[in-house]
Amino acid sequence: MPGETGEAVGLEPAAAGRGTRVLNLRRMTARRTDEAYRSSTPLELFFDLCFVAAVAQAASHLHHDLSGGHLGHAVGNYLWVFFAIWWAWANFTWFASAYDNDDDPYRLLTMVQIAGALALAAGVPRAFESGDYLVITLGYVILRLAMVMQWLRAARADPKRRTTALRYAVGYALVQAGWVARLAFDQPTYLYVGLALAVGELLVPIWAERAQVTPFHPEHITERFGLFTMIVLGEAVLAATIAVQTAADSRDGTDVDLLVLAGSGLLLVFSLWWLYFDRTTQRMLRSMPTTIIWGYGHYLVFASTAAIGAGLAVAVDALIGHAHVTHLQQGLAVGIPLAAWIATVWWLRVGPPLNGPAVAASPVAVVLVLTAAWTSAAVPLMAVITAALAAVKTWAVRRTD
């Protein structure tokens, strides 16, 4: 088992004679799917925290572009940047659930991925400001090639799943070559090639898992995705808090409207947390097709969560006259990602066995949220709607327990 002290290799003759281990190297055999107490490791948590920089950069630039009225530019760049963040994080997470042996090469390759993630974060400003994706691409390729090396190690050590591991390695290596080649194209070819490569990225796991399913740990995966959701929620809170602080510093006295907006944002974030974590279900992790859907669906969960924080910051900017947006645009900046979040989380995390009025709660909430975007009190209304949805869900869950 990976949790055991594997056989040491690569010792220098003198060191071997003294019994000193030069390199902690273990076979990267598959971990058991029924391990007890399988929780996130310190390295995984460190990996998550380093990705926070990229999430924060993406959300911050989305906020500033939306406040400036550059809607199309903001959304297009944000979706591309967040795809790279989410996909790199998710690929590492699924791999670690199956093959984390915590030896020195594994740790070092993970740190290379972290370096790539930080390079990706450093390239976000250039991507938003001038459409220059060179730094993002280089960072992305660095962390993805390190992932290819991890899969090659797994292919060597796990004969039963060698075909699967090789498919991952070959598929991702080819796609990374495509991302580099994409830099040579101009628009609109640049965009079309990027869309094709994104589809290719998504198809690699589907193709690879057809050979032999990798042994991920359902409880571990659920925890990992939940932890990253909390991290992104924290970024949303931070973005909104900084915006409120800036607004408060620029105005004299107590501003009731600002207090209402701040309280509404807090209620909204609390409700999002409640909806996501009140009921942990692994019903979709019982077969590979639904597992793929569950994992891919979290792109919308993560991206929408960070976008809600950016939207709240836009609402604060609009309140103090620093945003070039209409009331409707201000409402939609929060309403669209919130509606997407509610619909996605309800499907992935809630769903059956809820019945009766609870089944219709999510689509009704989505309609009400989008309707509230047309009002002058969009954020407070959305917060109340989301809190009511959390109450309905809690009531329905308690009835089924």
Q: Are 197 and 179 in contact (CB under 8 A)?
A: yes
Q: Please tell me the predicted confidence (pLDDT) of residue 93.
A: 95
Mean pLDDT of 288-307: 92
Domains of the chain, first to last: 41-209 (no CATH), 218-400 (1.20.1410)
Distance CA(229)–CA(23), nearest Å, equals: 35
Q: What SS3 string covers the chain?
A: CCCCCCCCCCCCHHHHHHCCCCCCCCCCCCCCCCCCCCCCCHHHHHHHHHHHHHHHHHHHHHHHHHHCCCHHHHHHHHHHHHHHHHHHHHHHHHHHHHHCCCCHHHHHHHHHHHHHHHHHHHHHHHHHHHCCCHHHHHHHHHHHHHHHHHHHHHHHHCHHHHHHHHHHHHHHHHHHHHHHHHCCCCCCHHHHHHHHHHHHHHHHHHHHHCCCCCCCCHHHHHHHHHHHHHHHHHHHHHHHHHHHHHHHHCCCCCCHHHHHHHHHHHHHHHHHHHHHHCCCCCHHHCCHHHHHHHHHHHHHHHHHHHHHHHHHHHHHHHHCCCCCCCHHHHHHHHHHHHHHHHHHHHHHHHCCCCCCHHHHHHHHHHHHHHHHCCCCCHHHHHHHHHHHHHHHHHHHHHHHC
Q: Please tell me the predicted confidence (pLDDT) of residue 100.
A: 92
Q: Please tell me the predicted confidence (pLDDT) of residue 3.
A: 34
Q: Is the pTM of this model over 0.85?
A: yes
- pLDDT tens readout for residues 311-352: 999 988 888 888 888 888 889 999 999 999 999 998 887 655
Local confidence band at 281 (pLDDT 50, 70, 90 cut-offs): low
